[in-house]
A = this chain, B = another copy of it.
Amino acid sequence: MLTQNAVPSHSFCPSLGSQKGVVELMGAPMAFGRNAEIYGENEPADYLYRVVSGAVRTYRVLCDGRRQIGAFYMPGDVFGLESGHAHAFSAEAISDTKVLVIKRKALEAIAGRDSEVARQLWELTGRELERAQDHILALIKTAEERVVSFLLEMAVRASRDGQIELPMSRRDIADYLGLTIETVSRTMTHLESTSTIEMRSSRRVVLKNQATLRRLNG
């Protein structure tokens, strides 16, 4: 159960390198298979989630079927945190995924008593806002710049010994970047043909020339 002593307010670290804090210390484990829905748009936002392993996408669909992916979440990331009482996006497991589930009400109750926890909740929402703002900036760029932005983001968040492991399909990438799968595919092929990246497989990418990539990032 959630108890006060599970929430040591003195453990706060002012410059949160990754998402440390109370949210790291609690939650019930839960597993989802590939493409399983974790929650749906407009469902009550009673829980938030921390990815343990696997990967998650959040998305919305327009009436005619176009899908916008809001974000990808990797191990360590927190998602499902909404200020309103309903989820603005749906969430699905991209691959088999383990998460920790945290009761929102319990967390808010703690936040009401412990201002440090309240501050961490605010901080998480603020970081999500920054992410969304960066996403907006990416969406006004050219196709090549968007793909490069994405690869540079993934290099930080999903690389193992200099090699990016993409958990998501070309369709997911396209829907994240507001492009078609063909454009994503063509752009990556072009980046490879200029020795800017290397594709060991369609899901394994190595950035060969970071200087060029940063220049192409706009």
**Which among A97-105, A110-118, A160-168, A202-210 touches the partner chain?**
A110-118
Chain B residues with CB under 8 Å of A111's CB are 115, 118-119
A47 on interface, CB distance cutoff 8 Å: no
Contacts of A135 in B (CB 8 A): 132, 136
Copies in the assembly, this chain: 2
Q: Does A178 contact B (CB under 8 A)?
A: yes
Is A173 part of the binding interface, using a Cβ–Cβ cutoff of 8 Å?
no
A interface majority secondary structure: helix
Q: Name the residue of chain B whose CB is nearest to the CB of A118.
A: B118
Cα distance, A3 to B200, chains bound together (Å)? 62
The residues of A with any CB-CB pair to B shorter than 8 Å are 60, 62-64, 66, 68, 70, 82-84, 88-89, 111-113, 115, 118-119, 121-123, 125-130, 132-133, 135-137, 139-141, 178, 218
